[in-house]
Structure 1
Amino acid sequence: METLEHFGVYGACVSDDRLLCVKKHGGPYNGRYDLPGGSRKNGESLLDTLNREFAEETSYKIIEIYENSLFDTFVKINERQTVHHIFGIYDVKLEKINNIEEVRRYINCSEINDSLGEEWVAIKDLTEKNSSPLILKVLATQREFQAKKYDEWKIL
């Protein structure tokens, strides 16, 4: 089995129990929700890549970065190939871009955009059947920080 390597950087923004997602068009996550982000271009820093990808795939710009984490996953794409996807996820705060010229300066018509556009999706609606492994990792991380309620707790 051949293993293909892929590295990318992505941004996660949760607001009102919704996650900013893009709908993927192509690749192993085709038809699924994914995080905005993608591959580095030669000479780009990770943050340059993150900012460029947000400008290409969404109508938002990043105004703050809180934290980052590095993860990886293996996705079998056919009987002969598996993708080892290594991904950095940055927790970000966003601002809507209202100036179309600001959006246009990031658009490169010579590249194919693998995103069909942005969508704020309720966290409760994101599942393994409709989401990329990146989103599933964000959801798992979110759940780890939720306070557990013990309504039936007994003091011994």
Structure 2
Amino acid sequence: MYHTAFGVYGILFQGNCLAVIKKKAGPYQNRYDLPGGSMEAGELLEDTLCREFKEETGMTVTSYHQLGTINFLYPWRYKETTMNNHICVFYEIRAIVGKLEKNVHQFTGQDSLGAVFFPIEQLNEQNASPLVIKACEVFKQEAFTAKSQRLMKWDVLEAPSYE
């Protein structure tokens, strides 16, 4: 049985670094992940992007461009399900106000411990979510390829891969 998750995510580069969060819950816990997440009732995609980005990084998005939507299918045990279908809408963040917060406000539902700009060449499948790997691909190819992925194996990390 499949669990379906839908989220909106922002990709922000600073030089050869990517803005990533330290994920504390879900299938990407203990890995670097993109800022973003689930829509709340009545939100537009762009509202979700801006709210989630602010909550998880401390920065306010002022300009963005939608890159596209893909999904990731992979094994993950959640409640009665054994597979996850993660549908992701990606946005390129073009301008922000404020600075990245290494520690962000904690509240019920917050799954970010804080954010960092992390060198793209140090992000990999052992320390990052598939979303981050996709963002690294966007950086290297200078383009977004709307190709979904099926992962045969996925491990939820028991210990943090980040500092």
TM over 0.5: yes
Q: Equivalents in 1 of 2:24, 2:77: separation in Å?
A: 18
Q: Which runs of 4+ in 1 moved over 4 A?
A: none
Q: Equivalents in 2 of 1:76, 1:64: separation in Å?
A: 35
Stretches of structure 1 that go unaligned for 5 or more consecutive residues are 99-106, 147-156
Cα deviation, 1:5-32, whole Å, max 9, x if unaligned, reads: 0000000001110000001001000101
Q: Equivalents in 1 of 2:92, 2:41: separation in Å?
A: 24
Cα deviation, 1:95-139, whole Å, max 9, x if unaligned, reads: 3437xxxxxxxx794x22111100100000100101101111112
SS at match of 1:41: coil
- The higher radius of gyration belongs to 1
Stretches of structure 2 that go unaligned for 5 or more consecutive residues are 100-104, 144-163
SS at match of 2:66: strand
Number of corresponding residues: 137
Q: Which amino acid in 2 is paired with 1:67?
A: Q
The match for 1:121 among 118, 123, 142 is: 118
Contact 1:60 1:94 in 2 (8 A): no
Alignment-derived partner of residue 93 in structure 1? 94
Cα deviation, 1:54-90, whole Å, max 9, x if unaligned, reads: 1111121111113321111012114951110000010
Q: TM-score, normalised by structure 2?
A: 0.77
Alignment-derived partner of residue 8 in structure 1? 7
Alignment-derived partner of residue 71 in structure 2? 72
SS at match of 1:52: helix
Alignment-derived partner of residue 134 in structure 1? 131
